[in-house]
């Protein structure tokens, strides 16, 4: 049975990455129901074009499709969110890749930064920063894999990642510091 | 390597992405430089905090189930155009829609449609395939009938007999809650060698108007069917309808059905 073989192969290759796919969609849409719709659409699309999949990193392949589907979905349903991207890109190009240079009260900051607050702060970051943090810090993708998912050169991946971390740190400092000064 | 090189490398180093040479050079510098070491430690500490704190959202089972249905349908649509299936395709779509509705809201609907057995057969096979590919064979993985049976209590309004048939070569693997044709079903999972068997149990359908035969009450005759390469056996007993499905050959599946029936001659409920 041809059909079963194809579906079975797809299930072996794509379904193990369903959690990663859903997680990315959930962070990008910020909503569980929308994330489910997006993932289902993405998987159906992936299945449709499965013959074009020539092996290689299956997770990167599926995440790329999920991401693409997310943006199409966001553009259709929440156009306001997608617009802000150009400014960020511009800003990013002017800031050279520099590792965050954290100073000493950092340790204190980290102790105050609980998981709930952290998630809230990341949720507020703009999409390019949010997604690169999800790919790196949650999914543990290498720079190369991230470059593939985002279709960017590795240099840009590094600078955007540095920028995302810096933005997050700044936001964390902003929201935690007032509490430090009692 | 000097201190002014460090900031550019810290991130990649902490991410484990520096080349061997670069990492060696940086480490050599770090051994002599407390300031740069602090920088690296701070970066690492920060990344650890973020990694530990960020939520990873797991795909809900609801999504797995509906995706499995959607993929099966997409597959059929791609590989098997019209055939004589034209008649039931809208039904299948309606059924999967209803599945999503039922699964998400707990709403149950029962419609009497023609070809009830065909529809059920299709549902049973899809349910079997879905359970295998969504990697969700059991909700309660256990070979202990005394674990599996009470698990269904409160989850479904049925108390199907659960017997381990391992001595006879049909090992009980666990149980699962499923939906078949818009109604909740208890799925008992057995295994014969490498072949899983899903035994779906649903409340026996109330006889439709004009149809006098009630399936329940009698220790049912076994009807054997097949669909998409799977063998399916169907019988009714004790107000419940049983559907056994597997890729086992018909002889063995029949043996399983007879063993199961024999063990549940005196249903405890």
Q: Does B53 touch chain A (CB under 8 A)?
A: yes
Torsion angle defined by CA atoms of residues B254, B256, B258 and B260, in that order, rounded to the nearest 10 degrees? -150
Using a CB-CB cut-off of 8 Å, the residues of chain A touching B135 are 15
Chain B residues with beta carbon closer than 8 angstroms to that of A162 = 11
Which pLDDT band holds residue B208 (cuts at 50, 70, 90)? very low
Instruction: Categorize the per-residue pLDDT at B28 as very low, low, confident or very high, splitting at 50, 70 and 90.
Output: very high
Instruction: Quickly list H helices, A30-153.
Output: 32-48, 58-77, 79-83, 85-94, 106-112, 115-124, 127-133, 143-150
Answer yes or no: do B47 and A137 touch at CB < 8 A.
Answer: yes
For residue B38, the chain A residues in CB contact (below 8 A) are 104
With beta carbons under 8 A apart, name residues in chain A contacting B101.
none
The count of residues in chain B is 269
The reply to whether residue B59 touches residue A39, judged by beta carbons under 8 angstroms, is: yes
Nearest to A4 by CA among B131, B119, B133: B133
B69-99 pLDDT, tens digit per residue, is: 889 888 887 665 544 444 445 555 555 555 5
Is residue B34 less than 8 Å (CB to CB) from chain A?
Answer: no
pLDDT 10s digits, A139-171: 999 999 999 999 999 999 999 999 999 999 999
Q: Which of B7, B54, B63 sits opposite A22 (nearest CB)?
A: B63
CB contact under 8 A, A97 and B8: yes
Q: Do B57 and A1 lie within an 8 Å CB cutoff?
A: no
Q: Which residue has the higher pLDDT, B228 or B98?
A: B228
- Which tops the pLDDT comparison, B17 or B269? B17
**Taking 70 as the threshold, does the pLDDT of residue B240 lie above it?**
yes
The interface predicted TM-score of the complex, written ipTM, equals: 0.83
Higher pLDDT, B155 or A121: A121
Cα atoms found within 13 Å of the Cα of residue B126, Cβ hemisphere only? 27
| pLDDT tens string A13-26 | 999 999 999 999 99
Distance CA B148, CA B143 (A): 8
A-chain residues within 8 Å CB-CB of B34? none
């Amino acid at each position: 049975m041809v059909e079963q073989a194809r579906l079975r192969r797809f299930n072996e290759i794509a379904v193990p990455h369903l959690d990663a796919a859903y997680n990315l969609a959930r962070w990008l849409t910020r909503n569980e129901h929308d994330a489910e719709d997006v993932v289902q659409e993405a998987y159906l699309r992936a299945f449709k074009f499965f013959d074009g999949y020539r092996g290689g990193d299956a997770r990167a392949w599926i995440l790329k499709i999920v991401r693409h589907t997310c943006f199409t979905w966001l553009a259709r349903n929440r156009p306001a969110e997608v617009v802000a991207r150009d400014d960020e890109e511009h800003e990013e190009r002017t800031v050279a890749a520099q590792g965050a240079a954290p100073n000493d009260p950092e340790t204190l900051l980290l102790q105050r930064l609980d998981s709930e607050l952290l998630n809230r702060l990341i949720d507020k970051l703009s999409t390019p920063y949010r997604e690169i943090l999800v790919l790196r810090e949650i999914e543990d993708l290498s720079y190369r894999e991230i470059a593939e998912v985002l279709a960017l050169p590795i240099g840009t991946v590094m600078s955007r990642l540095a920028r995302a971390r810096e933005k997050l740190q700044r936001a964390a400092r902003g929201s935690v510091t007032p509490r430090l000064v009692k | 390597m000097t201190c002014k090189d460090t900031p550019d490398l810290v991130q990649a180093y902490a991410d484990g992405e520096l080349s061997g040479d670069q990492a060696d050079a940086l480490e050599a510098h770090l051994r002599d430089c407390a300031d740069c070491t602090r920088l690296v430690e701070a970066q690492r500490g920060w990344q650890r905090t973020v990694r530990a704190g960020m939520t990873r959202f797991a795909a809900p089972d609801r999504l797995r189930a509906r995706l499995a249905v959607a993929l099966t349908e997409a597959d059929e649509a791609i590989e098997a155009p019209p055939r004589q299936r034209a008649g039931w395709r809208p039904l299948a779509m309606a059924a999967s829609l209803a599945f999503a509705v039922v699964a998400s809201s707990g709403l149950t609907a029962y419609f009497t449609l023609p070809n009830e057995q065909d529809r059920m057969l299709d549902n049973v096979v899809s349910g079997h395939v879905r359970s295998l590919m969504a990697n969700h064979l059991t909700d309660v993985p256990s070979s202990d009938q005394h674990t599996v049976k009470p698990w269904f209590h409160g989850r479904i309004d049925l108390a199907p007999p659960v017997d381990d048939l391992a001595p006879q070569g049909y090992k009980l693997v666990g149980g699962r809650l499923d939906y078949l044709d818009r109604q909740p079903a208890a799925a008992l999972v057995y295994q014969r060698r490498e072949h899983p068997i899903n035994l779906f149990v649903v409340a026996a359908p109330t006889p439709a108007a004009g149809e006098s035969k009630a399936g329940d009450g009698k220790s049912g005759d076994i009807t054997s069917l097949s669909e998409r390469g799977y063998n399916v056996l169907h019988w009714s007993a004790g107000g419940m309808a049983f559907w056994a499905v597997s890729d086992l050959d018909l002889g063995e599946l029949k043996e399983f059905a007879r063993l199961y029936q024999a063990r549940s001659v005196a249903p405890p409920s």
